[in-house]
């Protein structure tokens, strides 16, 4: 391992468990603990735990916190009025490109928490500080590297968490999706990146190893980045840097639903560019019809022209390759297109997302 790689508070736990560690955006992270396929199925059938402490919790506090966030992100945080409620949004540049996708939690009108991606954390903080300073917002942006985060996902995930932490049950049992319980020693959110039910749990960094061990003792399967990627792909969830980036508008990545244009007076950063942009591509799913595996950047040949795979993998749940693609306007669900896989054009069916919902395949015809 390079000395330059960052390590989460759970890094030694992963190594002791025999995880295969890889460089993931400058972080030393587990890709699997033996069988990526078994880890994937554990999440779909029971419960798995992921170290997501490389992602950054950011506290935004101050009298202007709400106004600052209404300018900063494309979704409208004023919709959140109950403590713990959350929404998913994109933070855009003035050209409408995605600086990052993130989850925002409401604590009070002057206290919020953002969870941003690991690979974009430094530029995210710099951008937030720049916006706050240039617009003279009375707001403080605080990166919280003193916190750690794990995701416990799967149909049995919540019961396993309550078995490991019985005191949390009363505060978290009635949580609806995209809401969190703000506890003295933790933030427990009913969110995730797998398409399954479960919690994402934020605790002080010095408490996360015990939480991890206690959950593993409840037969929760440790899972690495490999299973996380196949799970999110099946669930139709984008990966920053692959399905979108600073050159891609939200509507080019299937994220129009994360942009709120209802309040015409809310001129969030990037709004003008989005309103003026005519998108020549559609973002949609692909199911490979023959043997092979789709990967990012593979060319797609359609009757309407050329497109590109943005993410692709072999689906452990479905047994065939699935992917996301940006394709020419006019391509519709049910069409057959062709993917260039190592010089061979392989047929694929265009389909809606997601591919798997609540552990079950979604029928695409």
What's the burial of 207, exposed, middle or buried (CB within 10 Å: 0-12/13-18/19+)?
Answer: middle
Which structural domain, as residue segments, surrounds residue 172? 1-240
Residue 183 pLDDT more than 80?
Answer: yes
Is residue 98 located within the same domain as residue 227?
Answer: yes
Is residue 224 located within the same domain as residue 305?
Answer: no
Please name which of 76, 65, 66, 60 lies closest in space to residue 271, comparing C-alpha atoms: 76
- Given the structure tokens 């992963």, which residue do they identify? 14
Q: Is residue 188 part of a domain?
A: yes
Q: Is residue 81 part of a domain?
A: yes
Query: Which of 212, 240, 268 finishes a domain?
Result: 240
Query: Which of 240, 272, 288 finishes a domain?
Result: 240
What is the pLDDT, as a whole number, of residue 188?
99
> Global pTM?
0.96
Q: Is residue 257 part of a domain?
A: no
What's the burial of 248, exposed, middle or buried (CB within 10 Å: 0-12/13-18/19+)?
Answer: buried
Q: Is residue 269 part of a domain?
A: no
Backbone φ and ψ for 225, nearest 5 degrees, come out as -65, -30
- CA–centroid distance for 110 within its chain: 25
Contacts 24+ apart (CB under 8 A), 6-9: 6/54, 8/51, 8/53, 8/54, 8/148, 9/53, 9/148, 9/205, 9/206, 9/208, 9/209
First to last CA, the chain: 46
Helix H or strand E encompassing 273: helix 271-276
CATH code of the domain covering residue 216: 3.30.1360.120
The 10s digit of each residue's pLDDT in 11-36 is 999 999 999 999 998 999 999 999 99
d(CA 135, CA 360): 47
Residue 242 pLDDT more than 50?
Answer: yes
Is residue 86 located within the same domain as residue 150?
Answer: yes
pLDDT, average across residues 275-288: 92
Q: How confident is the model at residue 1 (pLDDT cuts 50, 70, 90)?
A: very low
The 10s digit of each residue's pLDDT in 35-73 is 999 999 999 999 999 999 999 999 999 999 999 999 999
Cβ-based neighbours of 362, under 8 Å, separated by 6 or more:
352, 354, 355, 356
Is residue 29 located within the same domain as residue 133?
Answer: yes
Please name which of 349, 324, 312 lies closest in space to residue 254, comparing C-alpha atoms: 324
By DSSP bridging, strand 321-328 and strand 336-341 are unpaired
Q: Is residue 121 part of a domain?
A: yes
What is the secondary structure of 165-221 as a DSSP string? -GGGHHHHTTPPTTBEEE-SS-EEES--SSSS-EEEEEEEGGGHHHHHHHHHTTTPE
Task: Report the percentage of the chain scoring pLDDT > 70.
Answer: 99
Is residue 86 located within the same domain as residue 226?
Answer: yes
C-alpha distance from residue 258 to each of 8, 172, 249, 261, 299 (Å):
30, 26, 11, 10, 27
Residue 2 pLDDT more than 50?
Answer: no
C-alpha distance from residue 280 to each of 240, 249, 283, 326 (Å):
21, 12, 10, 9
pLDDT, average across residues 81-107: 98
Please name which of 57, 45, 9, 48 lies closest in space to residue 29, comparing C-alpha atoms: 9
Residue 279 pLDDT more than 90?
Answer: no
Asked whether 345 and 316 are in contact (CB, 8 A), the reply is no
What is the pLDDT, as a whole number, of residue 364?
66
Is residue 230 located within the same domain as residue 174?
Answer: yes
Residue 200 is assigned to a ligand binding site = yes
d(CA 197, CA 172): 13
Please name which of 267, 315, 266 lies closest in space to residue 294, comparing C-alpha atoms: 315
Asked whether 293 and 312 are in contact (CB, 8 A), the reply is yes
Contacts 24+ apart (CB under 8 A), 297-302: 298/339, 298/340, 298/341, 299/339, 299/340, 300/325, 300/327, 300/337, 300/338, 300/339, 300/340, 300/348, 301/337, 301/338, 301/339, 301/340, 301/345, 302/327, 302/328, 302/331, 302/335, 302/337, 302/338
d(CA 199, CA 196): 10
Is residue 205 located within the same domain as residue 333?
Answer: no
The 10s digit of each residue's pLDDT in 199-230 is 999 999 999 999 999 999 999 999 999 999 99
Q: Is residue 251 part of a domain?
A: no
The 10s digit of each residue's pLDDT in 117-139 is 999 999 999 999 999 999 999 99
> Average per-residue pLDDT in the chain?
97
Query: Which of 215, 240, 265 finishes a domain?
Result: 240
Instruction: Using DSSP, state whether 350 is helix, strand or coil.
Output: strand
Residue 365 pLDDT more than 80?
Answer: no
Rg (the chain; Cα; Å): 21
Count of domains forming the chain: 2
CATH code of the domain covering residue 284: 2.40.30.110
Q: How confident is the model at residue 3 (pLDDT cuts 50, 70, 90)?
A: low
The 10s digit of each residue's pLDDT in 328-350 is 999 999 999 999 999 999 999 99
Is residue 154 located within the same domain as residue 225?
Answer: yes
Is residue 223 located within the same domain as residue 295?
Answer: no
Is residue 201 located within the same domain as residue 313?
Answer: no
């Amino acid at each position: 391992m390079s000395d330059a790689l960052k390590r989460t508070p759970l890094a030694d736990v992963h190594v002791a468990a025999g995880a295969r560690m890889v460089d993931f955006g400058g972080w030393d992270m587990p890709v699997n603990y033996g069988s990526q396929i078994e880890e994937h199925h554990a999440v779909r059938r029971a419960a798995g735990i992921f170290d997501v402490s490389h992602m950054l919790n950011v506290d935004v506090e101050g009298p202007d916190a709400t106004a600052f966030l209404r300018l900063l992100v494309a979704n409208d945080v004023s919709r959140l009025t109950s403590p713990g409620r959350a929404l998913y949004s994109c933070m855009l540049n003035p050209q409408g490109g995605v600086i990052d996708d993130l989850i925002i939690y409401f604590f009070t009108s002057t206290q919020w928490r953002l969870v941003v991606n690991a690979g974009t954390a430094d530029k995210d903080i710099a951008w937030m500080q720049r916006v706050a300073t240039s617009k003279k917002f009375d707001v403080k942006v605080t990166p919280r590297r003193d916190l750690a985060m794990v995701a416990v996902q799967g149909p049995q995930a919540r019961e396993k968490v309550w078995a490991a932490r019985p005191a949390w049950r009363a505060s978290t049992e009635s949580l609806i999706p995209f809401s969190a319980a703000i506890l003295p020693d933790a933030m427990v959110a009913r969110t995730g990146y797998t398409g399954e039910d479960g919690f994402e749990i934020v605790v002080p960094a010095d408490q996360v190893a015990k939480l991890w061990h206690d959950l593993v003792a409840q037969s929760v399967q440790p899972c690495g980045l490999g299973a996380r990627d196949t799970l999110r792909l099946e669930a139709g969830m984008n990966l920053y840097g692959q399905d979108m980036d600073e050159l891609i508008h939200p509507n080019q990545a299937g994220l129009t639903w994360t942009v709120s244009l209802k309040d015409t007076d809310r001129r969030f950063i990037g709004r003008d560019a989005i309103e003026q942009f005519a998108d020549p591509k559609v973002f949609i799913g692909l199911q490979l019809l023959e043997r092979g595996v789709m990967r990012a950047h593979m060319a797609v040949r359609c009757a309407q022209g050329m497109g590109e795979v943005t993410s692709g993998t072999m689906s452990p749940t479905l047994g065939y390759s699935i992917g996301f693609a940006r394709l020419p306007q006019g391509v519709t669900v049910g069409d057959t297109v062709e993917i260039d896989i190592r010089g061979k054009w392989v047929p694929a069916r265009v389909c809606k997302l997601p591919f798997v919902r609540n552990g079950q395949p979604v029928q695409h015809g």
